[in-house]
Amino acid sequence: METVVLDGREACIKDVVLVARYGATAELADEAVPRIEASREIVERCVDESLIRYGITTGFGKFCDVVISRESNSTLQRNLIMSHAVGVGKPLPEEVVRAMMLLRVNAIAVGDSGARLSTVMALLDMLNAGIVPVVPEKGSLGASGDLAPLSHIAIALCGMGDCFYRGRRVPAADALAAAGLEPVELAAKEGLALINGTQCMTAVGALAAYDAWKLARTADVVAALTMQALRGITDAYDPRVHEARGQFGQIECAANMRALLAGSTCVTRQGQERVQDPYTLRCVPQIHGASRDAIGYAFDVVSREINAATDNPLIFANPDDPSGGDIISGGNFHGQPVALAMDFLGIAVAELANVSERRIERLVNPALSNGLPAFLVKDGGLNSGFMIVQYSAASLVSENKVLAHPASVDSIPSSANQEDHVSMGTIAARKAREILENARTVLSLELLAACQAIDLRGGPGSLSPATAAAYRALRSAAPMVEKDRIMQADIQAALALVSDGTILRVAEDVMGADIEGETYDEER
């Protein structure tokens, strides 16, 4: 497994996925060290000279005008993380917390946070040791950053709270001891440097954006199977149609659909059987393509946020005057950029599920399926076939419509109205993640239905090579439904193939496409 090097400037979503999901180790780049040390020197000088600077020699939020003595500075930072560790709800998935830890190290590596190098290395050591703090999923307003979630990581770093370690939930002090690590005693500014930022919403968002981009391409594969099952008309994917509009995602999706359907003998041409298809087939490039563009926007925002200094105040060292430098209070902790992007991401992914459910309806409805038996089963009446599969898809799509209501349009003032506009960005990111999980399932249900329809048409012999590979992958795990049976195992098998990227991989392998998908820019 490769090592991800963090310099505060060039980390990407692929790096987050490698560390958070696949256990890659992380290390600090050599060039980040002098930046960290320079900003720390300014903090130390501020304390030595008793300068009044927010969060260093003052209280926090509404208490920003309360001056704190030098003797109480360590207590101030410890009290900060303990009092702010008030998250509620179920623990965040371990991959999300690992991503949060990685991103916090990378944010400090920018060199504007003022934390000690030893504290940054302690957080990195905890990450690489596989110690994952228990972080409740709820409690962040998204400004001043993700205070509550990040505080649960900070208290674990100091030997408080609980962690997951080697498959068990244990006290953080025990996990650190078992890994041969020492708890950190925070110094001036360090509590704030660890918790005042957008790393929770960005961690959830990075993983969601990565998965959404894979799902958008998987949706094309599944739609191509349904297209063949319904003997769809390929003229609508003519490149001239899409170039006439000029929308990038639409052009890309149309090209992808043409490649996926190349070699198929079960699609039709305009006027061969009918003049035009319904929107769910004819407008796949327009619908899927718009979601591609929205996902790309979210990908770009999150990619920038990964390498951002998002705490407050920020420490700006002067390389030409080591004795100088500025400490500036600002608002980079405000999660509005990520909040809007995550709301947009959720809507974009919800639309992939919306149109997928409508394609399922066309497959199961004999009035719309161009000759397929009702509910995709022989001996209908005795057998119900895929009737309730469509119900489940409709249920998930309806749930997504509720979840897709934007969180970023809401704001509740906090800290005695000192923090009078907040982003709700972490709620937006968590909702996008939930929408994504539902959309995966809907597309898995369509995958099952499309392959069932193909079998009822006579089998996969007329499929395009790319979609035939996807069909075989599904059929290796879920056989055709000859008569009613419990389909839970089939649904879970299809979901696993969609979730782990198998359906996408086998199809794109046949096309000879670059299936890495690590960054949206590479795909563009």
Q: What is the DSSP letter of 372?
A: P
**CA dihedral sign, ordered 440, 445, 448, 452:** negative
- 516-521: long-range pairs with CB below 8 Å, 24+: 517/210, 517/213, 517/214, 517/217, 518/12, 518/13, 518/14, 518/17, 518/210, 519/12, 519/13, 519/14, 519/299, 519/303, 520/209, 520/213, 520/295, 520/296, 520/299, 520/300, 520/303, 521/299, 521/300, 521/303
User: What is the identity of the amino acid at 457?
Assistant: R
H or E segment at 164? strand 162-165
Distances (CA, A) of 49 to 45, 53, 160, 303: 6, 11, 32, 38
Active-site residue, 54 included: yes
User: Over 315-346, what HEC string results?
Assistant: EECCCCCCCCCEEECCCCCCCHHHHHHHHHHH
Distances (CA, A) of 1 to 27, 193, 222, 376, 516: 13, 30, 32, 45, 16
Q: What is the DSSP letter of 9?
A: S
Structure tokens at 178: 């078992």
Distances (CA, A) of 499 to 12, 212, 294, 430, 435: 21, 10, 20, 18, 14
Structure tokens at 362: 């066309």
Catalytic residue chosen out of the listed positions 54, 210, 237, 471? 54
Q: Which residues sit opposite 328 in a β-bridge?
A: 314
End-to-end CA distance of the chain, in Å? 27
List the helix and strand counts (H, then E) for the chain: 20, 9
Which residue in the block uniquely carries the two structure tokens 């962040």? 140
Contact 443/291 with Cβ under 8 angstroms?
A: no
DSSP strand E in 278-437: where?
314-316, 326-328
Residues with a known catalytic role = 54
